[in-house]
A and B are shown apart, each in its own frame.
Chain A
Amino acid sequence: MPFGPPGPNQHKVASANWPIGYSFLIHITSRTTGLSSLWASKLVNVIFLTLIFLLLYLWYNDNAWFVALTFVSYSSFEIFSHTWSEGPFLFFVILLAYLIYKQYDLPDSSRNWVYLCSCLLALFLLRYAGLVFLLLIGGLAIYCFWKKDLKGVKQYLMALSVATILIGTYLIYNYNVSGAIFGAHNVRMSALGQVDFFMTYLNAIGFARIYVESKDIVYYGITAFQFVLIVLFFVLLYHEGRRSLSHKSRLLLNMAFFYLLTISTLKLLIHAIDFDYRMMAPFSILLFLGVLTVIQKNESTSRINWVLKSGFIVFAVFSIIINLPNRYILSVLQNLIY
């Protein structure tokens, strides 16, 4: 039964504000390890971070370490440090991208729709925002129909139909138990205020640091560094043209912008969702993965690619350093020395 956050009569009232998935994972981990709920939640995050790294190794082989530098971004550190469902959600977002990619590779595999359907269900059970990926699968079915790929149409439609029936059943149950399909009666007022779309987008593309924090020399330095890398990236795209964008990178970038578009539209229509770097994390992570996929080539085809790759590695090291709790580490070291 989906229970909600503490409130009046909390022991009696079940709420549907959050789907059951993440809390259930914490519960299972806590039960099996004997850890408190808080530490079990951190362990769940580390398990899913590990699964993401394994998935990247499966997908990218030798270049996985470079693409995995995505996870030294500010958004990633925040998400995996907090008790937030975005960590496991990100794993399933990347898994969905992998499964869609495999659908091109192995279109004859009859089990693809089962994996796709399971992934859609997992996304929904972790966050209601996972519902947007049903639209993506529907869109892919239409695209395959347009391309006369009937096998693809069949796989996507089967996954979409079964996932829709199961998710619909869950939502009806939610309504019967709590009186609200998505727990809309308990919307936080902060989510209803004015939203600075520009700032949210800026924070989403800011790799090393959130852009609403204190504006010091580090902030300006890291912003300038990222700006130079972005300019170099566009120079690379201009020089190499379409051949620099592989199937993989196109898929990741398309998924990133699809998520950005649907979440922004939802925010305009519904208002009742938070709209910050946390909500934008699937966009940020898919965008960074897509960009790093473009520049991850083993044999650099151009000098710009080599400069960009080396520059990004240095930038990632900076990101790690500024995102570490440096004061805490210094105080621990001082205590050890004196």
Chain B
Amino acid sequence: MLKLDLYKPDIHLIKLVLLWFVVVACVFLRVISQPDRYTSPDSYAYLHKAEKISDHQEG
């Protein structure tokens, strides 16, 4: 079960949260540093499909 107690910070949970921040920060930095790479044709296919769903719903 999840154990969240603000008065007794769990060092292992803090490590996990810090790691999460590191991974998300790395992903964010990679995306903004190489926008061309991370909107590749494969990506475009998914985005195109998502936009088509929007068009379909609005239509």
Contacts and interface: CB of A to CB of B under 8 A. Distances in A.
Interface of A: 1-6, 17-18, 20, 22-24, 26-27, 30-31, 37-38, 40-42, 45-46, 49-50, 53-54, 56-58, 61-65, 68-69, 71-72, 76-77, 80-85, 320, 323-325, 327-329
B50 A40 contact: yes
B29 A325 contact: yes
19 contacts: A1-B56, A5-B44, A18-B45, A23-B52, A30-B54, A46-B27, A49-B27, A56-B16, A58-B1, A58-B2, A62-B12, A63-B12, A65-B13, A65-B19, A71-B23, A81-B38, A82-B40, A324-B29, A325-B34
Chain A contact surface mostly: helix
Given A38-B39, A62-B12, A77 B26 contact: yes
Nearest 4 Cβ contacts at the A-B interface: A83-B43, A328-B33, A325-B33, A5-B45
A332 to B, nearest CB: 9
Interface in B15-46: 15-16, 19-20, 22-24, 26-34, 38-46
A325 B45 contact: no
Given A31-B54, A83-B38, A22 B33 contact: no
Nearest to B18: A65
A84 B41 CA distance: 11
A123 to B, nearest CB: 17
Contact of B23 (A1, A22, A54, A72): A72
Given A31-B54, A58-B2, A81-B30, 16 more contacts: A5-B48, A20-B53, A24-B50, A27-B50, A38-B39, A42-B28, A49-B23, A56-B16, A62-B10, A64-B12, A65-B12, A65-B19, A71-B19, A77-B23, A83-B42, A325-B30
B22 A50 contact: no
Contacts of B30: 77, 81, 323-325
B33 to A, nearest CB: 4
Contacts of A76: 23
A83 B46 contact: yes
B45 A17 contact: yes
Given A1-B56, A5-B45, A65-B15, A50 B20 contact: yes
B47 A38 contact: yes
A286 to B, nearest CB: 18
A20 B10 CA distance: 40
B49 A5 contact: yes
B22 A72 contact: yes
B5 to A, nearest CB: 14
A295 B54 CA distance: 47
Contacts of A50: 20
A89 to B, nearest CB: 12
Nearest to B24: A46
Contacts of A57: 2, 13, 16
Contacts of B44: 5-6, 83
